[in-house]
Each structure stands twice: as structure tokens, then as C-alpha cells.
Amino acid sequence: MAAAASLPSRSALPRDVDIPALPGVGITWYDRGGAFPGGLLRIGYLLAVLAIAVVLLFCPAVFLAMFLASLPPEPLTERQARLWMAERLRERGYGTAAG
């Protein structure tokens, strides 16, 4: 990751340069440079990942719902063919403990 460009100090700026104030930060963002917003983004990303991990850890129904949503529905003809084949195999002894 490339280092943020350093800004000249506030005392080195001409007097007519006005540093815009950001909500919640004021004008201190200028002294901190570009590292401050990057740090906030990293913390926000970490908190989002942790929140998702906690939700998935304590709510396994989310995993189950994602799995079931990925399964295509079984058409009636496929179900009937599968049951018919299973019945034929049982008749021949393949579905028993001995087969």
C-alpha cells in the first residue's frame, strides 16, 4: 500500500488558505494526513466482519437457509423415477443389510 502524501504543516501554508472542517473531525484531519480516514475504514471493515461472524456463529439457521437456497427444486418426474429405481433395487435385495 502506498504511503499517503504528506501535507505541509499548517504554519507553512499561506494565510489566505482555509482548511475545511469535516463533521466530527474538525480541522484536525489536516494535521493527521491521509492515514486517519484509512484507519477509520480499516476499523469499520473489521467491525463489519466481526458482526457477520457473530451472527453466523450464533444463528446456524443462516447457514442452513443459504444451503437450502442453493439447492434446485426436484421435479416430480425425477422424484418418481428415483423412488421407482429404489423400489426395484430393494426387490432385488440391494437395499437390505445382506446386499
pLDDT, residue 84, reads 93
Give pTM, 2 decimals. Answer: 0.34
pLDDT, residue 40, reads 73
User: How far apart are alpha carbons 30 and 3 in whole angstroms?
Assistant: 16
Q: Tens digit of pLDDT for each residue in 20-52?
A: 666 666 666 556 665 666 677 788 889 999 998
Q: Tens digit of pLDDT for each residue in 76-99?
A: 898 899 999 999 998 888 866 655
More confident residue, 97 or 73: 73
